């Protein structure tokens, strides 16, 4: 079991190193289903793992000058407030509710990953114009608080929520948004961890083992970042996250829920949106002839 945990932990780091996110949504299922931890303990431990790994993945991006420190620290400050509050609130939320919410977020994240970025911002959205600084700052603050609350509640660093916010509201090109997101992820994770420590005891031996493997993976991911086509990697990882999300739901939802139309409507919407986005991105590549 330890070998499986370490091997899976490498994926956490690889994802963070290559994509600037995604590793966090793997950490909780790994700790719950492979390491046998309870949900609350797994969420708290994942925040430590993701925080340290995010800092390790940040270093090569910073050396390549792909980090906008001022924007990241500003967004991270708002996110930390939300993450601490989410961490304190998680103590009062049942573990099953947390995992179901986590699985739904995984499916939504997968749909986001499967959409092909275009231009300097995500999903074809334009960055805020220079003259709208006040409005952009307010939007950045609101988004930071919301992303932080999700981080604290479900133990996710929120990378795939942070990147769109930095690209659209912060006006950063995608390369800078990915690098800067690692700074925000680390800040979010440590703030969320502080909120959890009041009510959860962490197995530090396991936490350090998973973190060590994830840090090694982040180094590998950073080296692979420029060699693997990003569209290919995002699509493959996106479908993997879909699978993980469905498996988590299968473990948590009662058998009767799988016969309810609403369950399949949610899953169908997540699957369909991802499929539509992938097909649409392929169609846009085909040149039109007069």
Say which residues have a Cβ less than 8 Å from residue 263's Cβ, sequence separation at least 6.
253, 257
Going by pLDDT thresholds of 50, 70 and 90, the confidence category of residue 125 is: very low
Q: Which helix (H) or strand (E) holds 102?
A: helix 95-114
Residue 205 pLDDT more than 90? yes
Residues 193-219 as b/e (b if ≥16 CB within 10 A, e otherwise) read bbbbeeebebeeebbebbbbbbbbbbb
Q: Range with the lowest mean pLDDT among 56-65, 119-128, 155-164? A: 119-128
Residues 18-35 have a mean pLDDT of: 80
pLDDT of residue 215: 93
Range from 40-49, 117-126, 219-228 that averages highest in pLDDT: 40-49
* Strand partners of residue 118: 121
pLDDT of residue 238: 72
Summarize pLDDT for 261-279 with one digit per residue, the tens: 666 665 566 555 545 544 5
Say if 231 falls within a structural domain.
yes
pLDDT of residue 130: 47
Count of structural domains, the chain? 1
What share of the chain in percent tops pLDDT 90? 10
Say if 85 falls within a structural domain.
yes
Structure tokens at 84: 């601490």
Helix axes 39-63, 69-90, angle to 10 degrees: 180
pLDDT of residue 181: 86
Residues 126-142 have a mean pLDDT of: 60
Residues 220-233 have a mean pLDDT of: 72
What does the mean pLDDT of the chain come to? 75
Say if 170 falls within a structural domain.
yes
Distance, in Å, from the CA atom of 64 to the CA atom of 176, rounded to the nearest integer, reads 10
Number of Cβ atoms within 10 Å of the Cβ of 137: 16
Which position has the higher pLDDT, 251 or 13? 13
Residue 248 pLDDT more than 90? no
Residues 224-231 have a mean pLDDT of: 69
pLDDT of residue 270: 53
- Of 127, 191, 122, which Cα lies nearest the Cα of 155? 191
Structure tokens at 145: 């608080």
Say if 290 falls within a structural domain.
no
Q: State the DSSP string of 132-193.
A: GHHHHHHHHHHHHHHHHHHHHHH----HHHHHHHHHHTS---HHHHHHHHHHHHHHHHHHHH
Residue 242 pLDDT more than 70? yes
pLDDT of residue 263: 61
Going by pLDDT thresholds of 50, 70 and 90, the confidence category of residue 156 is: low
Q: Range with the lowest mean pLDDT among 70-84, 142-156, 195-209, 262-276? A: 262-276
Residue 178 pLDDT more than 90? no
Distance, in Å, from the CA atom of 72 to the CA atom of 65, rounded to the nearest integer, reads 13
Summarize pLDDT for 70-124 with one digit per residue, the tens: 889 988 898 888 888 888 887 787 877 777 777 777 777 677 667 655 544 344 3
Say if 216 falls within a structural domain.
yes
The reported pTM is: 0.69
Query: Which residues form the domain of 70?
Result: 2-285
What share of the chain in percent tops pLDDT 70? 69
pLDDT of residue 286: 47
Residues 39-50 have a mean pLDDT of: 89
């Amino acid at each position: 079991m330890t070998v499986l945990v370490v091997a899976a932990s490498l994926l956490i780091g690889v994802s963070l190193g290559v994509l600037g996110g995604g590793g966090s949504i793997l950490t909780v299922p790994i700790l719950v289903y492979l390491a046998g931890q309870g949900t609350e303990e797994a969420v708290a431990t994942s925040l430590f793992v993701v925080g340290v790994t995010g800092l390790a993945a940040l270093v090569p991006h910073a050396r390549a000058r792909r980090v906008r420190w001022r924007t990241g620290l500003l967004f991270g400050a708002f996110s930390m407030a939300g993450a601490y509050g989410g961490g304190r609130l998680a103590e009062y939320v049942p573990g099953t509710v947390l995992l179901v919410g986590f699985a739904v977020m995984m499916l939504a994240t997968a749909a986001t990953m499967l959409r092909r970025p275009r231009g300097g911002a995500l999903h074809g959205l334009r960055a805020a114009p220079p003259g709208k600084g006040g409005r952009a700052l307010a939007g950045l603050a609101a988004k930071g608080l919301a992303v932080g609350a999700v981080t604290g509640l479900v133990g996710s660093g929120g990378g795939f929520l942070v990147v769109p916010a930095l690209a659209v509201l912060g006006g950063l090109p995608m390369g800078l948004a990915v690098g800067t997101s690692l700074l925000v992820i680390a800040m979010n994770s440590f703030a969320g961890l502080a909120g959890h420590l009041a009510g959860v005891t962490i197995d530090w031996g396991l936490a350090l083992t998973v973190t060590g493997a994830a840090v090694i993976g982040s180094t590998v991911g950073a080296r692979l970042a420029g060699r693997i086509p990003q569209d290919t990697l995002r699509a493959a990882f996106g479908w993997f996250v879909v699978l993980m999300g469905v498996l988590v739901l299968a473990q948590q939802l009662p058998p009767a829920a799988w016969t309810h139309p609403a369950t399949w409507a949610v899953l169908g919407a997540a699957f369909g949106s991802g499929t539509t986005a992938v097909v649409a991105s392929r169609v846009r590549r085909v040149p039109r002839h007069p």
